């Protein structure tokens, strides 16, 4: 009986305790890939992403990454991603493709010129598309 009351008191105490949200840092290093997208995938057709779409998509992508559980998984001290994006034609429509990978210390690769390759670390890679309206599709974290 005593144990029951103790348990009950603990439940009440923790249940009523103010639940302060936790925050973790997220750094995103954006790189607009300027080279030929066929170097990434031979089937890709390059498309121009105007500044309006670029702004909309970057903001949407940021939000999507912030709200993604998998991105936050195993990242108590935060994460830093290098994110490469470029425009291409998909189903006759212009989309912005995002490819992200965890940033490595002392890696100063300029992903505006170099192709970003995924690595084998789990939860450290992601890819997504963004249409003209800024809607993020097929966000995959792997």
Partner 1 sequence: MKVVWLKLMSIFRLNLLIAFLLSVTAVALLWNKYGMDDIYTIKPATYPYIIAQTDSVDGGASVLDLSRTDSSIVMDYELREGYPYPYVNMQIYLGDGKDHGKDLSHYDSIYLWVKPRGEGSVRLYLRAWDDSISKPGDQATLKFNELEFFPLEETYPAVFVPQEFRVAGWWVSQHNVNAHRARVDLSNIPLIEIQTGTAAPLGYGTLEIMGITFKGKLISAEKLMFVLVALWFFTFLFYLILRLRDYSIQRNTERKRREELEHNLVVLEVEKSDYEKASKEDALTGCLNRAGFTSILTHEQEHLNTGGGALSFIMLDIDFFKKVNDTWGHSVGDEVLVNLSKLIRSRIRTTDALVRWGGEEFVILCSDTPLQNAQFLAEKLRTNVENTQLISQQQITCSFGVAEMLPHEDPKSVFDRLDKALYSSKRGGRNSVTAAIKKI
DSSP string, 101-137: EEPPTT----TTTSPP---SSTTSEEEEEE-TT--EE
């998998």: which residue's tokens?
Answer: 70
Here the tokens at position 59 are: 């903001």
The span of 42-50, 63-71, 88-96, 111-119 binding partner 1 (CB under 8 A) equals: 63-71
- Pick between residue 5 and residue 23 the one whose CB is nearest to partner 1: 23
Long-range contacts of 69-74 (CB under 8 A, 24+ apart): 70/123, 70/126, 70/141, 71/26, 71/123, 71/126, 71/141, 72/24, 73/123, 74/122, 74/123
Among 25, 43, 48, 91, binds partner 1 (CB under 8 A): 25
62 sits near partner 1 (criterion: CB under 8 A): yes
Centroid of chain to Cα 136: 11
Least distance to partner 1, CB of residue 112, Å: 12
26 sits near partner 1 (criterion: CB under 8 A): yes
93 sits near partner 1 (criterion: CB under 8 A): no
- Pick between residue 51 and residue 91 the one whose CB is nearest to partner 1: 51
78 sits near partner 1 (criterion: CB under 8 A): yes
135 sits near partner 1 (criterion: CB under 8 A): no
Binding residues (CB under 8 A) for partner 1: these are: 21-30, 55, 58-60, 62-63, 66-67, 69, 72, 78, 80, 103, 105
């Amino acid at each position: 009986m005593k144990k029951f009351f103790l348990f009950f008191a603990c439940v009440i105490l923790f249940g009523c305790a103010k639940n302060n949200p936790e925050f973790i840092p997220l750094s995103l290093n954006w790189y607009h890939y300027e080279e030929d997208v066929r170097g990434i995938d031979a089937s890709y057709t390059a498309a121009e992403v105007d500044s309006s779409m670029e702004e909309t998509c970057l903001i949407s992508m940021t939000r999507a990454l912030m709200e993604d559980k998998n991105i936050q998984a195993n990242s108590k001290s935060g994460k830093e991603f290098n994110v490469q994006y470029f425009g291409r034609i998909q189903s006759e429509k212009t989309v912005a493709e995002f490819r992200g990978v965890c940033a490595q210390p002392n890696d100063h690769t300029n992903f505006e010129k170099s192709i970003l390759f995924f690595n084998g670390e789990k939860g450290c890679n992601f890819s997504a598309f963004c249409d003209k309206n800024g809607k993020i599709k097929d966000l995959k974290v792997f």
